[in-house]
Structures are given as structure tokens and as C-alpha cells.
């Protein structure tokens, strides 16, 4: 019931914020044949299959507040099932891991995206960004729209199998 209360409060606050931000335009639309604005916000979360003592939760959002298109995002949260604490990159990897992990991500990128997408990326040397989730297959890094590529390329996810990470895991 606490979760349901929090969700209802969130939805109520979002509606209030929306109505305050477009009060003048909404009043105009209610008095004409133009209809009303149709903003949209969606939040969806899913627990992923655990791996060893870790489990990830993937939060997916989509929001449309007018314009040519909405914006979506994915955020990974990984937890230690023993302690309940959130796991960071520093918890998983040895000191000095970033250049090695960056090289692995950079090598996987051309295998992950189509050639057409690869050619229009903003960058092709990929660095870890703390937005990851774990599954039995490996660690997946999530790069949001505009983070490394134009909107049209979508969210880019790069998975590195566990066996390719053994030399930098704690």
C-alpha cells in the first residue's frame, strides 16, 4: 500500500505540474474546437534475471511533452542480494579498470549497431557511464539517445560477456 500511495502522489504531482505549466494554453483549448494537449509520461520497471549475488532493476521511461517526438530512457540499478546495497562500477571492477573496460566497450560497439548507425555516431571510443545492468549473459551498458549518437539511433546497449571481463573483475 505504501508503493501504491507513492505512485498516486507521483501521478497527482505530475498532473498538477502539467496543468500549471500550460494553464493559459489549456484554458484557450477548452474554449475552442482545438481539443486539449496530450502529454504522456510512462514509467515501467522490471527486475532482470539475477546473476550470482546480484540483481538488476531496469527502469524504462517515456515522456512526450509536445514537439516532434517524445524521449525515452533506460536506467539500470544493480543490487547486492546479500546486503541490499546498490552496486557501482567500483564495486565490480579492480582499480584502473576504466581504460580496459572502455576498450572492451569500443570493440563491442561495431558488433552491436548496424553499419549505417555506426557511421553517424557522435563518438566511437566508448567509456563506461555508470548506467549498466547485469544478467547471466554479462554486463550491459546503456547509452541514452544523444549520449553517443543522434536521436534516430535510439538507445544503444552494449553487452560484454562475463568471460571477457574476468581479468578486471574483483
Neighbouring CB atoms inside 10 A of 81's CB total 13
Residue 161 to residue 136: CA distance in whole angstroms:
9
Helices 2-21 & 23-30 angle (0-180, nearest 10): 80
Which pLDDT band, with edges at 50, 70 and 90, does 35 fall under? very low
CA distance 49 to 133: 10
Q: CA angle at residue 121 from 117 to 122, to 5 degrees?
A: 165
For all residues of the chain together, what is the average pLDDT?
89
pLDDT of residue 31: 58
pLDDT mean over 81-98: 95
Confidence band, pLDDT 50/70/90 cuts, at residue 37:
low
Q: Is the pTM of this model over 0.85?
A: no
Can you tell me the distance from the alpha carbon of 153 to that of 103, in angstroms, rounded to the nearest whole number?
22
How much is the pLDDT for 64? Answer: 86
Overall average pLDDT of the 56-84 stretch: 91
- Tell me the torsion sign for CA atoms 123, 129, 133, 136: positive
Of 58, 83, 45, the closest CA to residue 135 belongs to 58
> Per-residue confidence at 26, pLDDT binned at 50, 70, 90?
low
CA atoms within 13 A on the CB side of 49: 6
Amino acid at each position: 500500500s505504501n508503493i501504491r500511495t507513492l505512485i498516486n502522489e507521483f501521478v497527482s504531482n505530475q498532473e498538477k505540474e502539467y496543468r500549471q505549466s500550460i494553464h493559459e494554453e489549456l484554458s484557450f483549448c477548452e474554449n475552442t474546437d482545438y481539443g486539449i494537449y496530450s502529454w504522456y509520461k510512462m514509467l515501467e520497471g522490471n527486475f532482470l534475471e539475477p546473476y550470482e549475488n546480484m540483481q538488476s532493476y531496469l527502469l524504462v521511461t517515456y515522456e512526450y511533452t509536445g514537439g516532434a517526438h517524445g524521449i525515452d530512457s533506460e536506467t539500470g540499478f544493480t543490487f547486492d542480494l546479500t546486503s541490499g546495497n546498490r552496486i557501482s562500477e567500483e564495486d565490480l571492477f579492480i582499480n584502473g579498470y576504466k581504460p580496459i573496460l572502455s576498450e572492451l566497450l569500443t570493440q563491442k560497439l561495431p558488433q552491436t549497431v548496424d553499419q549505417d548507425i555506426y557511421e553517424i555516431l557522435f563518438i566511437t571510443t566508448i567509456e563506461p557511464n555508470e548506467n549498466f545492468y547485469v544478467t547471466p549473459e554479462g554486463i550491459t551498458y546503456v547509452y541514452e539517445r544523444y549520449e553517443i549518437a543522434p536521436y534516430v539511433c535510439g538507445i544503444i546497449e552494449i553487452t560484454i560477456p562475463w568471460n571477457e571481463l574476468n581479468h578486471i573483475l574483483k
